[in-house]
Structure 1
Amino acid sequence: MNKEKSYDFIIIGAGIIGLTIAKNLKQKYSDSKIAIIEKESEIGFHSSGRNSGVLHAGFYYTADSLKAKFTKEGCLYWRNYCEKNKLKINKCGKVVVCKNEGELETLYELKNRGDKNGVPLEVINEKELSNYEPNAKTFKKALWSPLTATIDPKEILSNLKYNLEKEGVDFYFNTSYKYRIDEKSIKAGNFIFKYEKLINASGLYADSIAKDFGFSKDYIIIPFKGVYLEYTGNDKPIKTNIYPVPNIKNPFLGVHYTIKVDGTIKIGPTAIPAFWRENYKGLDRFKLNEFLQIITWETKLFLTNAFGFRSLALEEIKKYNKNYLIDQAISLVKKIDKSKFTKWGKPGIRAQLLNIKTKELVQDFVVEGDKYSVHILNAVSPAFTASYPFTKWIVQNYIN
């Protein structure tokens, strides 16, 4: 027999978006009854817990985007949050370096975007670059971003959960969403949950759950697998995050160096098209219906080369070769021992939204909803950084 549970708000997904939604709801509606349901046995099992740990400063995004609106504010929020709660943070900054003359124009475009978004950035020359990261190399100019930092995503998630539970938020783990019953109830796990409003923050399954409520008609999530490779030497040849100038038409930032909170250096990520939503390793979590749906769309994109998907996929597949991935990273520095890149990190899956009408990967955050439910359909990088102000905006604009 199914047990009934009644709440003011039901949140699907215990990642950073789900937890910060709950935090913002409690701040606005302090007496509200809130439950977070999660199909896994812990918080942050998927994207949030496998996040790179970078707090982005907010200069990649055009000023009219939600990403531009929330990333800098989110970066400052989490920097302060870590200090206030005595959580680990590495305020190492970041440099963006050029490989050739052709990348200088994009470098200045990033500076222009940063200026419009109110992000502190400095264009520096090769000599000045050595003051920030002696091992980085660039062609003529580079960008210095002092706001960029790294954190431990799982530590922040655990702290949020602890504080939310103190405020009376209930967590239901191993409780998978099954289906919508009516406008104000769902079946999940062994329970029927009744609610005034449901918030879908389920990441990789946000689109499929949204379709049960009449949303996500123009979208489908296409998963991309990201993997990092760690430097295992005892020396520390790099102290600052080093990124290449990106292709700004592409949602991925290219192979780069990230300095973790403990000083560990890692390179990556890959952005390899995955074949089902939780395609982490081998045939683990394989679902035939997902495989058929996703492979159909990936084949269409590959054959039509929509948004350059074919060249993107072929380039990313090369990164399965460890030496190729390392060589991509080595091009950004003066000297590093490639033999010490030996440890693969835990893979993550990017829940990337595809507009099935325009055949384009959606680069900005996407939210749809009505008076009964809200669906966060596209919460890709820098969603962790932007999460608190982004979900505050959702509460202000979609929940009343």
Structure 2
Amino acid sequence: MTRYLIVGGGIVGLAVAHRLRLDRPGDQVTVLEKESGWAAHQTGHNSGVIHAGVYYRPGSLKATLCRAGSASMVRFCAEQGLPYATCGKLIVATEPAELPRLHELHQRAVANGLPVTLVDAAEAAAHEPHVAAVAALRVESTGIVDFAAVCRKLADLLADGGAELRLNTRVTGVHATGRQVRVTTDAGELTGDVLVNCAGLHADRVARLAGVDPPVRIVPFRGEYHELVPDRRDLVRGLIYPVPDPQFPFLGVHLTRMIDGSVHAGPNAVLATAREGYSWRRFSPRDVWEQASYPGLWALARRHHRYGWTEVARSLSRRRFAASLARLVPELTGADIVPAGSGVRAQAVRPDGSLVDDFLIVEADRQVHVLNAPSPAATSSFEIARHIVARLPEN
């Protein structure tokens, strides 16, 4: 019997545990989560989109695992009776200058084997009557779901299947001793044979605790959301995204109809002052010092400082936030949106300031560390788990 210790109770950690129970039912699986509930951070604060895999470099882990993961996620939800919808989305060019980028995105989507269609302004309006578009890319396989509900279901299945689930258990030390891994927590010590680090916002720290020198540093970016007031939700039928600007590292604010019928707008992307910094008021001296002393952050700031200041301005001004949305749906104004919480993206940054643009999974002796798993990790979670488990040793 092999004993697996999984650090992190977000959707990737729980999916890894689930895959282990399916593939290696005779082994022992323990999940350690420092919070009092599952999906407390990235998983529970995202936009709930089941991504198709349009944006990612063909052949990359993101491209291959997202496409397969989208189907896996839909299949799991259907089997478990969880609400979801395959509603499709529009990626919208709002001016002629964006058309070359839209066509490049279309070519990438086709290379990734996705069912996509270029549509003109009239066809775009047939899908989204209030959208402003000179052309758009229709992505049929995009969907929506509540990923926190997926995590709750996974936790129930794991508990029923004999896995050990430990909430309120913060990892404080990891020591590899021969063929075993000893994990110290604030709730006691555990010994296992294999460690899987799915700690998200703290993944690089857990790797260092385990004696692994990670090639990246996690830098937290807060994404702030607004939502449309109820009587303006009819302006958006599904999902409306801008054409991403390749000069900038994020997708830009967009409009998403959630599984509960609400319509969220966002997120923006501002550097957070804590790894769990869900507002400007949340400040961690340790986290800020780590960021300020990391050369990669300064290199990133030099490269994208104009974009960064634009995001800060949009964070501080509802008028600016609404103006960004009005590029997609001109009828939207500041009076039509209200704040709707935020999430924090755990973005891996290299020492030269470049963002890791693919999933990053580092293997060590009897250890696996998931060091970069932002979007579309939730969509891809079942396939990330399959990818990881196939590489885990057995006694």
What residue is the counterpart of 2:142 in the other structure? 148
What residue is the counterpart of 2:365 in the other structure? 371
Matched residue of 1:348: which SS?
strand
Q: Deviations over 1:327-354 (max 9, x none)?
A: 1001102423541212x22211100000
Aligned-residue offset at 1:376: 0.2
1:157 aligns with 2:155: no
Which residue type is aligned with residue 258 of structure 2? K
What residue is the counterpart of 2:17 in the other structure? 22
**Correspondent of 2:75 among 66, 74, 80:** 80
Distance (whole Å) between structure 2 residues aligned to residue 162 and residue 293 of structure 1? 37
CA contact (8 A) 2:31 2:166 kept: yes
**Correspondent of 2:323 among 320, 327, 344:** 327
Distance (whole Å) between structure 2 residues aligned to residue 113 and residue 142 of structure 1? 15
TM alignment of 1:1-400, pairs within 5 A: 8-139=3-134, 141-183=135-177, 184-235=181-232, 236-284=234-282, 286-297=283-294, 301-302=297-298, 305-306=301-302, 308-320=303-315, 321-336=317-332, 338-342=334-338, 344-356=339-351, 358-400=352-394
Aligned-residue offset at 1:58: 0.4
Aligned-residue offset at 1:21: 0.5
1:259/1:379 Cα in 2 relative to 1: closer, same or farther (>3 Å)?
A: same
Task: List gaps (5 residues or longer) in structure 1.
Answer: 1-5
Q: Deviations over 1:372-396 (max 9, x none)?
A: 2110000000100011111101111
Distance (whole Å) between structure 1 residues aligned to residue 75 and residue 21 of structure 2? 20
Aligned-residue offset at 1:175: 0.6
Distance (whole Å) between structure 2 residues aligned to residue 353 and residue 249 of structure 1? 18
> Percent identity over the alignment?
30
Distance (whole Å) between structure 2 residues aligned to residue 336 and residue 273 of structure 1? 27
| Alignment TM-score, normalising by the size of structure 2 | 0.94
Q: Deviations over 1:147-172 (max 9, x none)?
A: 11111111111111111111111111
Distance (whole Å) between structure 2 residues aligned to residue 166 and residue 113 of structure 1? 42
1:226/1:216 Cα in 2 relative to 1: closer, same or farther (>3 Å)?
A: farther
Which residue type is aligned with residue 78 of structure 1? M
Distance (whole Å) between structure 1 residues aligned to residue 41 and residue 155 of structure 2? 16
Q: Deviations over 1:66-106 (max 9, x none)?
A: 10011111111112222222211132210011122221111
Distance (whole Å) between structure 1 residues aligned to residue 96 and residue 235 of structure 2? 27
CA contact (8 A) 1:302 1:310 kept: no
Instruction: Let me know the Cα RMSD of the aligned residues.
Output: 1.8
Q: Deviations over 1:233-273 (max 9, x none)?
A: 33422102000000235331101001101221111101100
Aligned-residue offset at 1:371: 3.1
CA contact (8 A) 1:275 1:295 kept: no
CA contact (8 A) 1:370 1:398 kept: no
1:330/1:161 Cα in 2 relative to 1: closer, same or farther (>3 Å)?
A: same
CA contact (8 A) 2:297 2:349 kept: no
Distance (whole Å) between structure 2 residues aligned to residue 293 and residue 72 of structure 1? 35
Which residue type is aligned with residue 106 of structure 1? R
Which segment is superposed worse, 262-271 or 329-338? 329-338
Matched residue of 1:229: which SS?
strand
What residue is the counterpart of 1:3 in the other structure? none
Distance (whole Å) between structure 2 residues aligned to residue 326 and residue 391 of structure 1? 38
Matched residue of 1:103: which SS?
helix
CA contact (8 A) 2:273 2:280 kept: no
Which residue type is aligned with residue 218 of structure 2? I
Distance (whole Å) between structure 2 residues aligned to residue 128 and residue 226 of structure 1? 31
Which segment is superposed worse, 157-166 or 233-242? 233-242
Distance (whole Å) between structure 1 residues aligned to residue 300 and residue 369 of structure 2? 30
Aligned-residue offset at 1:295: 2.9
Which residue type is aligned with residue 241 of structure 2? Y
CA contact (8 A) 1:371 1:399 kept: no
Distance (whole Å) between structure 1 residues aligned to residue 148 and residue 300 of structure 2? 39
Which segment is superposed worse, 211-220 or 160-169? 211-220
Which residue type is aligned with residue 361 of structure 1? L
Distance (whole Å) between structure 1 residues aligned to residue 13 and residue 46 of structure 2? 15
1:301/1:185 Cα in 2 relative to 1: closer, same or farther (>3 Å)?
A: closer
Distance (whole Å) between structure 1 residues aligned to residue 280 and residue 98 of structure 2? 37
Distance (whole Å) between structure 2 residues aligned to residue 327 and residue 399 of structure 1? 52
Which residue type is aligned with residue 364 of structure 2? D
CA contact (8 A) 1:224 1:273 kept: yes
Task: List gaps (5 residues or longer) in structure 2.
Answer: none
